[in-house]
Structure formats: structure tokens, C-alpha cells
Amino acid sequence: MKRNSIKTIQRLKNIRPISCLTAYTSSIAKIVDQNVDVILVGDSLGTVIYGFKNTRSVTLEMMKNHGRAVMQSSQKSFTIIDMPYKTYVNKNQALDSAKHLLQFTGCQSVKLETDKTTVPIVSHLIKNKILVVSHIGALPQHFKDFSKIRLIGKTTKQKKDMLDLAHQLEEAGSSLLVLECIERELAKEITESISIPTIGIGSSINCDGQILVINDILNTDDTFKKPQFVKTYANFSYYLNKAVKRYDTEVKNRKFPKK
């Protein structure tokens, strides 16, 4: 089976929506890979796998190990890996971090959370033959408390800044643009004004594709409130709880194991 290339994904713009999900482990990657166009090994693993309050404690080593597991367990999807917090504060560090991630994992592209100060770093990576997905709008690595994340694009200044940034990142050579929590009309305007695909998360149907965190769509943890834009497709926590309770009962009542 031939793996999707960035050209394959880019050609889908204006043809059909692009489907993306996160994956962090081998077993999940195998299932996700059978269906979606793009897999993101996201630094969201900090909150959903390691129980951190935010993504700032995620390390390069964590991303490398999860990225390798996902890449080795997938065959079809174009695979992107996040650059962790403070691993791309300058051009040299960014290039070193990106090379380590891609060489160790085999992933096809890195993703950076970007603002106007990060554009030269994106450009530097691309000049050094690193595929870059740029992430604009609400940037989770900027927040210690995710409950403070708000919709971007309500003011004229925010709209202009986001539009300008999108064009700068396209010009720098970004392969894709992730739009997080961007107001729907602004998301539409960005999507229609650039030639590379936009992938939305909480940014309306007006993007070229959509991405969500796999743990959110499966509801693997029902102890915290999920963002309003999340849709749950399976209540995994409910069935896991039932299975564990049944196992526990059978062990204690000597019903398991049988001969």
C-alpha cells in the first residue's frame, strides 16, 4: 500500500474534505490508518496519555517514541508530528529538533504552532528540506489553562492579523495550515484566499479538512468537559468501565479463569 504524500493531500483542496485524526499508539494507529487521510502525532498526548494539565511538559523524547510507534504501525496516511513546546525557539534549535524527530520516527512532516515571530523559523526549516505544517489561531502551547482558549477572529485586527499570517506562512512554503478556534467567516476567507489546504479544529465546516483528538471522539475519559466543537462518536469509557467491573467480579467470585 502506498502512503499518501503531501502532494496527494494538497490535490484534495476543492475536490473533497480531508479527514485527519490524532494517534499516539500502535493499536490506535492501525485502526485510524485504515480510514483517514492524515494522522497527527499530536503533543495533545501530554493531556490524554500522560495526564498533564497542558502540553507544555511534553518532551522531544516522548514525541519521538510515540511518533515511531505510529509510523511503524501505519501504511497509508500522511503522517505529521508535533514539535513540542520550546523546541523551536530559534532557527538552529528548530532545525535540530525537526531533524531528530523525522529521522527517528520516519514521519513525513513536522507541525509548528505559529505566529508572526515564527514565520522565519518556518522558512528556515523549509529551505532545509523539512516539510512544515503551520498551526494558527488558538495556540495550545501558549496556554497553561485550556479553559481560557477563546475564538479568534471576532475583531477587525484579529481578522487582518490572521489573514496576513496565513499568507505569510503560505509564501514561506508551509504544506498545510491548521486553523484552531477561528471564527467561521474568517476560516472561510483564509481557506478561499490561499492555495494550500486548511485543516480546521473548532473552525467550522468552511475549512478544507477537519481534525480532532482521537480520545475525544471516543470519549476515553468522561471526567472532564470537552470543547464545544468536539463530537463524540463512541462512549469508550462506558464500555471499558463495564468490562473492567465484570472482570473484577468474575475473578473475586472464582468464575475466571475456567479450565
Contact 109, 80 (CB under 8 A): yes
**Ramachandran sector of residue 233 (left: φ over 0; alpha: ψ -120 to 50; beta: rest):** alpha
* Active-site choice (61, 113, 171, 180): 180
Residue 115 CB: number of other CB atoms within 10 A?
A: 14
Contact 34, 213 (CB under 8 A): no
Tell me if residue 180 is catalytic: yes
Outline where DSSP puts E strands in the chain.
18-22, 38-41, 78-82, 109-113, 132-137, 176-180, 198-201, 209-212
Task: Single out the residue of 74, 124, 119, 117 nearest to residue 98, CA to CA.
Answer: 124
Contact 100, 60 (CB under 8 A): yes
Q: pLDDT tens, 200-211?
A: 999 999 999 999
pLDDT band at 259 (very low <50, low <70, confident <90, very high): confident
Dihedral, 7, 13, 14, 15 alpha carbons, nearest 10: 60
Contact 81, 67 (CB under 8 A): yes
Q: pLDDT tens, 71-113?
A: 999 999 999 999 999 999 999 999 999 999 999 999 999 999 9
What the chain holds in terms of domains, given with CATH numbers, is 6-252 (3.20.20.60)
